[in-house]
Amino acid sequence: MTTEPLPAIALGSDHAGFPLKAVLARALAEAGHPVIDLGTHAPERVDYPDYAHAVARAVEAGQARFGVLVCGSGVGVSIAANRHGGIRCVLASEPLTATLSRAHNDANVLALGARLTGEDMALAILRAFLAGHYEGGRHDQRLAKLTPTQGNPA
């Protein structure tokens, strides 16, 4: 019996998200996921868009199947990541949002707010996100409208 390897996960955070990113990285590695830590690697002040763009590029390029971003609120990194055409980043504060974002929106990047989400909740959200599966079907038409193409305003 062969099992498929777990997908690679790209991680990124700013200074506010740095401690929580370390917790998530450790949990992912312990679960057997290849982890691509794109920074920051220290608690000194940095600009969150730099890390959000790096994670988004890694997911778009296929280096990682999913991305996880952490900043103080999760809002800044989610806005930055969603500027990339191939990214569907969800800001989740509880597991159900993470589950539904995978099922209905085929989300490929998860954003978390380190100042708003405790470690246990963040781990539960991450597990729900990674366990989710896109349902397709009725969601395909809606998802197509999110993809920048000729005729779509995105």
Which pTM value belongs to this model? 0.93
63-122 pLDDT, tens per residue?
999 999 999 999 999 999 999 999 999 999 999 999 999 999 999 999 999 999 999 999
Least confident of 45-49, 86-90, 144-148: 144-148
Angle between helices 18-31 and 119-131 (to 10 degrees): 50
Q: Is 89 a catalytic residue?
A: no
pLDDT at 39 over 70: yes
Query: Using CA atoms, how far apart are residues 145 and 11, in angstroms rounded to an integer?
Result: 27
Q: Which of 53, 71, 84, 89 is catalytic?
A: 71
Q: Is 71 a catalytic residue?
A: yes
As beta bridge partners, residue 110 has: 68, 90
**In order of start, what are the domains of the chain with their CATH numbers?**
9-144 (3.40.1400.10)
